[in-house]
């Protein structure tokens, strides 16, 4: 999607806000429009890559069923048994691995592992890393196999 120059820090902040928005959506079921309006009002919104945030948020919400189907065979428990934060992070990471081939898979995994360290339970970053790594091997097979 995005070509040309971009600010990796603005994307990192966008992912952070995305995880918060997805967490809220999972708990409240707010509409996409309501979520976008609420998060546009936050001070950190001014420092993110807005099109990237909107693309990820709408993509994850619209493709939740498909993303969950990708994740469930990899998980060691039912998706519903996951902590809400882990679920939001894994859905976002799955969406990026599946639909944002302009972002290297290692970057996707690294970014969501970092978010799991910030928002997740004590060891959730290890779980997120393992799940997204397995998913990358199928969704980004060419990219992962090229490394050996």
Instruction: Give the model's confidence band at 4: pLDDT under 50 very low, under 70 low, under 90 confident, else very high.
Output: low
Determine contact, residues 136/90, Cβ cutoff 8 Å: no
What are 119-137's pLDDT values in tens digits?
Answer: 998 899 999 999 999 999 9
112: burial class by Cβ within 10 Å (0-12, 13-18, 19+)? Answer: buried
The CATH superfamily of 8-141 is NusB-like (1.10.940.10)
What are 85-106's pLDDT values in tens digits?
Answer: 999 999 999 999 999 999 999 9
**C-beta neighbour count of 32 within 10 angstroms:** 15
What are 20-33's pLDDT values in tens digits?
Answer: 999 999 999 999 99
What are 39-74's pLDDT values in tens digits?
Answer: 999 999 999 999 999 999 999 999 999 999 999 999
pLDDT over 50 at 1, yes or no:
no
pTM of the model: 0.93
- Report d(CA 57, CA 18) in Å as an integer: 6
Higher pLDDT, 5 or 101: 101
Which residues, 6 or more positions from 42, have their beta carbon under 8 angstroms from its beta carbon? Answer: 17
Domain boundaries defined on the chain: 8-141
């Amino acid at each position: 999607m995005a070509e040309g120059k971009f600010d990796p820090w603005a994307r990192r902040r966008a992912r952070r806000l995305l995880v918060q928005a997805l967490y809220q959506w999972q708990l409240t079921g707010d509409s996409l429009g309501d979520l976008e309006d609420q998060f546009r009002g936050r001070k950190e919104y001014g420092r993110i890559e807005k099109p990237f945030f909107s693309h990820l948020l709408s993509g994850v919400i619209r493709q939740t069923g498909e993303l969950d189907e990708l994740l469930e065979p990899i998980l060691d428990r039912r998706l519903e048994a996951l902590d809400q934060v882990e679920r939001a992070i894994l859905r976002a990471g799955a969406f990026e691995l599946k639909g944002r081939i302009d972002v290297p898979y290692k970057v996707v995994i690294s970014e969501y592992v970092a978010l799991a360290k910030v928002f997740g339970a004590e060891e959730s970053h290890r779980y997120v890393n393992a799940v997204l790594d397995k998913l990358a091997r199928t969704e980004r097979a060419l990219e992962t196999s090229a490394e050996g």
